[in-house]
Amino acid sequence: MIEFAGCNDCGPCGSQTVLDAELVCDQAPCNYVLVVEGAGSSEGSYSVTMTCDSIDDIEGTISCGEIVTGSTVGATNSMSSAGSHGGDHMYSFTILETSNVQFNSCQSDYDTYLRIFSAELTEELHSCDDCGDCGTRSVLDAALEAGNYILLVEGFAGVEGSYTVQ
């Protein structure tokens, strides 16, 4: 058995523990066991509440042949840990079999920066700024295995604007 996270007296509750853990499941199903025990030989009643972060900033989905449009002006910078400091939008998509995909933002009105992340947003798999034949509008080509992914639409260096991505 492998321990992924542990804690004794952590968090703001004194001797009642608040355990924060980031669990990444790369291949479903992933099963975990929570062990609740007292310090030393302590025993007693307990209550456990589990909360999970969710990806709330998804604008929608995109699939082959589909076009999405929007504006990042004033949007949340949902991926501040990666890339630009401006507003961005995210779209989920699914690949059913290993494929080459292309996301084309040539019709956008600003300097676009496109990125593909794992569905859990834990790994940036591909990115593109000024690639393709549209100047500062990006055309991202990527080979992807079957699975679920997130497309991040943002602007270079915090630039925001209206976009069209096919």
- Per-residue pLDDT tens digits of the chain, which is 166 residues long: 677 777 777 767 777 777 766 666 555 556 678 788 888 888 888 877 765 555 567 888 999 999 999 999 998 887 655 566 788 999 999 999 999 999 999 999 999 999 999 988 888 999 999 999 999 999 999 999 999 999 999 999 889 999 999 9
Per-residue pLDDT, 7: 77
pLDDT of res. 19: 72
CA distance 150 to 144: 12
Q: What is the pLDDT of residue 27?
A: 53
Residue of 58, 140, 68 lying closest to 91 (CA atoms):
58
What local confidence, expressed as pLDDT, does residue 121 receive?
Answer: 85
Paired sense of beta strands 68-71 and 124-129, if any: unpaired
What pLDDT score does 56 carry? Answer: 60
Residue 52's pLDDT is 55
Listed in sequence order, the DSSP H helices in 66-160 are none
pTM of the complete model: 0.67
Dihedral (C-alpha) 62, 65, 67, 72: value to the nearest 10 degrees? Answer: 50
